[in-house]
Amino acid sequence: MLRIKALPLLQTHISCYPLVAQRVHQLASIKHVCVLAERRRQGLLYPFSSLEEHLSSQVSQEEFKIFHPSLEELCQAETLFTPSSQHSIDYSTSAVRIDHVPLLKQPEVCFMGRSNVGKSSLIRALFSLAPEVDVRVSKTPGHTKKLNFFTVGKAFTLVDMPGYGHNAPRDFVEMVEPYLQERHNLVRTFLLVDGGAGLQKADLVAVEMCEEFNLPYVLVVTKIDRTRQGALLALALQLRDFIKNQTSMCFPQPLLVSSVQFSGIYLLRCFIAHVTGNLQLNAKQL
């Protein structure tokens, strides 16, 4: 479970290179990514680019570039995840029932997935530009037992959901289903899939839930740093076909991320900024 303390003043600029404290991970900001060699830089900003050379000529690369913002747009999104005197990032509250959730008007996104899929680690990476973040990522699967709400200024709210499957809370269904059904400001659900394990039965149940409730959602493949490129490409192609043939509410492009190497974190930040209405893209729209 995550806890975010009050954040100190930081000066930020729309040009995208915020001033960050030394505690921040060295790759948390695009500023540090841009000085890397091109191949390494592209792999961090657009993870699927590392797999393109292994892609069959019969498969269109554009299917994996439906959401492909520019570097400038990635930078603009980064400012949203950087605290300042006018823009605080805070832990708001936790809830175990729908009547306990906070009444917030700003757009909301939620993250859900199997226990030990790396959900809390991913959220920690997304908020890594906030130097005073106190993140608790347990080594024990299923540590998150409540709905945890984090407000990002007046821009949006991020919700960390309890993990399902192994070590899930006993009242998981009673806790999660009403939230997904009744939360009117929920604009996108991010369903996490372990890159090494692929889609599991419990994930299919979560997919069915999103489809039944007509919720727009995205499949996010985690732990890609632990997965061989061949296996990762095979999974990406499998998910593409699964989304195309067996879903109607899922975004057609699976997103690839590594909370350790920060691959795809910048792209995911930009996706969140866009779907919450805080960033208009110049090119392709969702």
Whole-model pTM over 0.95: no
Domain 2-275 has CATH 3.40.50.720: no
pLDDT at position 141: 47
Residue 232 is predicted with a pLDDT of: 94
pLDDT tens, per residue, the chain with 286 residues: 444 333 333 333 334 444 434 356 788 999 999 999 999 999 999 999 988 888 877 777 888 889 999 999 999 999 999 999 899 998 888 888 777 888 888 999 999 998 889 998 999 999 999 867 555 554 444 455 688 899 999 999 999 988 887 655 566 677 788 889 989 999 999 999 999 999 999 899 999 999 999 999 999 999 999 999 999 999 999 999 999 999 999 999 999 999 999 999 999 999 999 999 999 998 655 6
| Unique residue bearing structure tokens 């893209």 | 281
Determine the pLDDT at residue 231: 93
**Residue 90: predicted pLDDT:** 86
